[in-house]
């Protein structure tokens, strides 16, 4: 599937499956990229004369419009080069992937704090040519010398070794659950990376039905905060029907599990009809 069309194709696919069920009314809920796909499925259903009373987006990430980022004054060429190269940078993607598999990045050798890394990226984009490559991270100097040394060390290891180190750092309670995925880590990582590319190129159609947007109270674990976000302001241009927005407990990776799920269920189940 072409990257820019992935969510549209999947939305149509799932829409056909839902249509075949023959229900009189549909309520769709999607977490993360599932929210983007849910909107596309809702479009398909309504276009086919079916009722969709509620679409719920839970921590659904979208690309920020350039004017709403810290890079708003940059030329488009530099901005989009920065976006593209950051999504091609395996050393950066691994850090976020680690959160998805509950790995301990510090144990695996990724010791640079998130805030420091954000400063590095801002520096590379604003003071350089916008290329957020592994080479650019390894060539940092001055206040970012320690960051450069860490990325030099990591870049000298093959991806398979780095992913195995992330896997080995997972708490043993989770490791048993993940054991069947060990041989699939490279594949899982590639799918994860591909999802970023899909989000970066996806442009939702304005949706006229009922929509609820839930964003997490903790944003520190959000994906690539320099370029992506999940709050209502990001979604507002794409929602032209009735809407409701609210904050839910937790962060992207734990907002619908455990205690956070118990806290958030009353809001999630309060549908718009």
DSSP result, 38-101: HHHHHHHHHHTT--EEEEEEES--EEPPGGGSTTTTS-HHHHHHHHHHHHH-HHHHHHHHHHHT
Give the three-class secondary structure for 211: strand
CA dihedral 48, 235, 189, 78 (to 10 degrees): 120
Mean pLDDT, range 13-37, rounded to an integer: 96
Write the CB contacts of 88 (distance below 8 Å, at least 6 apart in sequence).
Answer: 133
**Mean pLDDT lowest for which of 108-117, 160-169, 181-190?**
181-190
Distance, in Å, from the CA atom of 211 to the CA atom of 205, rounded to the nearest integer, reads 13
Mean pLDDT, range 28-37, rounded to an integer: 95
Give the three-class secondary structure for 26: strand
Ramachandran bin of 77, using left for φ above 0, alpha for ψ from -120 to 50, beta for the remaining angles: alpha
Q: Where are the alpha helices (DSSP H) in 106-257?
A: 114-127, 134-138, 145-155, 159-168, 172-178, 185-201, 232-235
Give the three-class secondary structure for 123: helix
Domains and CATH numbers, the chain: 3-64+203-268 (3.40.50.1820), 67-199 (no CATH)
- Residue 220: Cβ within 10 Å count: 10
Distance, in Å, from the CA atom of 122 to the CA atom of 190, rounded to the nearest integer, reads 26
CA Rg, the chain, in Å?
20
Give the per-residue pLDDT at 178. Answer: 57
Distance, in Å, from the CA atom of 27 to the CA atom of 52, rounded to the nearest integer, reads 6
Mean pLDDT, range 61-78, rounded to an integer: 87
**At residue 180, does pLDDT exceed 80?**
no
Q: Which position has the higher pLDDT, 111 or 128?
A: 111
Give the per-residue pLDDT at 181. Answer: 65
Give the per-residue pLDDT at 102. Answer: 80
Give the per-residue pLDDT at 190. Answer: 85
Give the per-residue pLDDT at 262. Answer: 96
The percent of residues in the chain predicted with pLDDT above 90, rounded, is 48
Residue 160: pLDDT band with limits 50, 70, 90: confident
Can you give the pTM of this predicted structure? 0.84
Give the per-residue pLDDT at 260. Answer: 95
Ramachandran bin of 50, using left for φ above 0, alpha for ψ from -120 to 50, beta for the remaining angles: beta
Mean pLDDT, range 169-196, rounded to an integer: 72
Give the three-class secondary structure for 30: strand
**At residue 57, does pLDDT exceed 60?**
yes
DSSP state of 239: B
Mean pLDDT, range 55-78, rounded to an integer: 89
Distance, in Å, from the CA atom of 264 to the CA atom of 148, rounded to the nearest integer, reads 40
Instruction: For tokens 């320099």, name the residue.
Output: 226
Give the per-residue pLDDT at 219. Answer: 76
Q: Show contacts of 188-194: CB within 8 Å, 24+ apart.
A: 188/97, 188/101, 189/93, 189/94, 189/97, 189/159, 189/163, 192/93, 192/96, 192/97, 192/100, 193/87, 193/90, 193/93, 193/97, 194/3, 194/6
Please name which of 240, 252, 231 lies closest in space to residue 204, comparing C-alpha atoms: 240
Ramachandran bin of 171, using left for φ above 0, alpha for ψ from -120 to 50, beta for the remaining angles: beta
């Amino acid at each position: 599937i072409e990257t820019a069309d992935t969510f549209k194709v999947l939305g149509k696919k799932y829409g056909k499956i839902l249509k075949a069920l023959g229900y009189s009314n549909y309520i769709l809920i999607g977490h993360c990229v599932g929210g983007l796909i849910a909107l596309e499925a809702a479009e398909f259903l309504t276009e086919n004369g079916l009722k969709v009373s509620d679409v719920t987006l839970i921590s659904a990430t979208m690309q920020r419009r350039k004017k709403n980022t810290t890079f708003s004054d940059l030329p488009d060429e530099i901005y989009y080069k920065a976006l593209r190269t950051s999504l091609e940078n395996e050393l950066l993607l691994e850090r976020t992937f680690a959160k998805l598999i509950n790995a301990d990045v510090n144990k695996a050798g990724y010791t640079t704090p998130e805030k420091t890394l954000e400063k590095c990226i801002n520096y590379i984009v604003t003071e350089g040519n916008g290329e957020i490559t592994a080479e650019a991270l390894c060539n940092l100097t001055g206040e970012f010398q320690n960051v450069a040394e860490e990325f030099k060390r990591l870049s000298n290891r093959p991806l398979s070794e780095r992913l195995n180190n992330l896997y080995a750092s997972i708490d043993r309670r989770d490791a048993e659950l993940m054991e069947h995925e060990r041989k699939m880590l490279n594949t899982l990582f590639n799918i994860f990376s591909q999802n970023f590319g899909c989000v970066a190129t996806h442009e939702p159609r304005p949706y006229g039905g009922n929509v609820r947007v839930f964003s997490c109270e903790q944003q520190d674990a959000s994906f690539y905060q320099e370029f992506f976000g999940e709050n209502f302001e990001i979604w507002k241009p794409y929602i032209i029907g009735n809407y409701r927005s609210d904050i839910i407990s937790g962060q992207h990776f734990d907002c619908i599990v455990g205690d956070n799920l118990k806290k958030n269920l009353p809001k999630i189940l309060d549908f718009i009809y």
